[in-house]
Amino acid sequence: MVMNLLKLISSIEKQTILVIGDTMVDKFIWGKVKRISPEAPVPIVEITKETETLGGAANVANNIMALKGTAFIVSTIGKDIAGKSLIKMLVEKGIDSSYLICDSQRPTIVKTRIIASSQQLVRVDKEVKDFFDRSAETKIISNIEKLISQVNAVIISDYGKGVVSLKVLKKTIFLARKFKIPVTVDPKVNHFKKYKKITIMTPNEKEAIEGMNAKNIKNDEDMMVLGKKILKMLDSNSVLITRGEKGMMLIQHNNKIINIPTRAKEVYDVTGAGDTVISTLTLALAAKADLLSAAEIANFSAGIVVGKLGTATASSQELERTILDFYKK
């Protein structure tokens, strides 16, 4: 297994992935707490620094680049300072920003997290969730059509903010199947039953339960039954349910189920871990890896990023070192 995974890391570097979904800026306000406000029972945060990183679908693209793959991204931004900041960060990471649509009617999505003593205290979201008008949707589909023949796989990174409309989703799946390339989905609960005939979906436990409106999920056996129902409902090749400290559950089209233990040593922050899973998994599938190997290497990547604070990525060097260290035990 170890040699296969190490060889896969090298193969990943040759892959080009199209990311479709909701981009955003992840803003972090870092500080210290020394006292409670006299105005209300809340901590007073003394700010020490402020940082910004790529979030949402942009973080998926960033994860692909961190593993030395190539990413194209189709999405939207607002005509605002945050939009300019997002483009600047994309360019710095070597990601082509020319397929982003600028919408003057909607702000760039910004998620602001206030962190003190390594703990997230609060998150503030600036966003508009409605679907885009027909002209914007047409431009999104046009950009997908321009890029689809240049890539080895497609990721639908659906945060439910409007980019992934039903029309965009159906067109993307149709084109991916036409060009015989994998199409993977990081789902939104509200759209859960619409991702028909994809290669694989990667919900976490909460998304899987809520997306299927399931009741009384109490143990591993219940989760297995639910996974099979998701697979049948979507008519897809497979489902990978991420389960935090329990690792991952891979359900394949023949109803074969494999439980993969977590590879995380320590968990500091799960922000963006789902982005890392879908990025690494899709790169591996694009490199013709089997589903189990793709899930295993994605599991190792996720174990790296949850050990970091804030929206993070795993580099190919970190991934190689982590796999080697694990199999030396």
Tell me if the pTM is above 0.75: yes
Task: Check residue 2 and give its pLDDT.
Answer: 81
Which amino acid type is present at position 258? I
- Alpha carbon distance 299, 281 (integer Å): 9
Look up residue 185 and give its two tokens: 């989905």
Provide the CATH number for the domain around residue 96. Answer: 3.40.1190.20
Tell the burial category of 314 from Cβ atoms under 10 Å away from its Cβ (0-12, 13-18, 19+): buried
Q: What does the pLDDT profile of the chain (329 residues) look like in tens digits?
A: 788 888 899 999 999 999 999 999 999 999 999 999 999 999 999 999 999 999 999 999 999 999 999 999 999 999 999 999 999 999 999 999 999 999 888 899 999 999 998 888 999 999 988 767 788 899 999 999 999 999 999 999 999 999 999 999 999 999 999 999 999 999 999 889 899 999 999 999 999 999 999 988 989 999 999 999 999 999 999 999 998 888 899 999 888 999 998 876 666 556 668 899 999 999 999 999 999 999 999 999 988 988 877 677 889 999 999 889 888 76
The residue segments making up the domain with residue 287 are 2-328
Distances (CA, A) of 89 to 85, 177, 201, 209: 6, 32, 28, 35
What is the DSSP code string of 64-79? HHHTT-EEEEEEEEES
Distances (CA, A) of 239 to 95, 177, 227, 262, 322: 29, 17, 7, 17, 25
- Alpha carbon distance 239, 225 (integer Å): 12
Which amino acid type is present at position 59? N
What stretches of 148-272 show up as alpha helix (H) in DSSP?
166-178, 205-211, 220-234
Of 1, 7, 2, 4, nearest to 316 (Cα)? Answer: 7
Tell the burial category of 120 from Cβ atoms under 10 Å away from its Cβ (0-12, 13-18, 19+): middle
The answer to whether 116 and 45 have CB atoms below 8 angstroms apart is yes
Pairing status of strand 248-252 against strand 257-260: antiparallel
Question: Considering its fold, how many domains does the chain have in total?
Answer: 1
Is residue 275 part of the annotated active site? The answer reads yes
Element (H, E) at 277: helix 273-286
Tell the burial category of 213 from Cβ atoms under 10 Å away from its Cβ (0-12, 13-18, 19+): exposed
Catalytic residue among 103, 186, 269, 275: 275
